[in-house]
Amino acid sequence: MKELVQFLAKSLVTNPDAVEVKETQGDTASVLELKVAKEDLGRIIGKQGRTARSIRTILNAAASRANRKVVLEIVEEK
């Protein structure tokens, strides 16, 4: 799942070297934290969150095939 999010994010941003995905295993689900460069944050979220919602949909489809639950969090650096 981590590789899938990394691939999608690197395909969307202008600075693919800044893409960072961290996976944390929880009790009921895996949590993926996505960090991108500050100038690429808008590209990942998209208008009205459409791109982020699409990434989550693809991720949930892949996770359901593996009988897993995955949560994607987009982390904004201060």
Tell me how crowded residue 64 is: count the other CB atoms within 10 A of its CB. Answer: 11
User: What share of residues in the chain are helix, strand, coil (percent, to 5)?
Assistant: 55, 25, 25
Token output for 57: 């949909």
Give me the residue spans of the domains in the chain. 2-75
Residues in CB range of 35: below 8 A, 6 or more apart: 18, 19, 20, 21, 22, 75, 77
CB 44 within 8 A of CB 34: yes
9-56 residue pLDDT tens: 999 999 999 999 999 997 888 999 999 999 999 999 999 999 999 999
CB 6 within 8 A of CB 58: no
56-70 residue pLDDT tens: 999 999 999 989 999
Which architecture characterizes domain 2-75 according to CATH?
Answer: 2-Layer Sandwich (3.30)
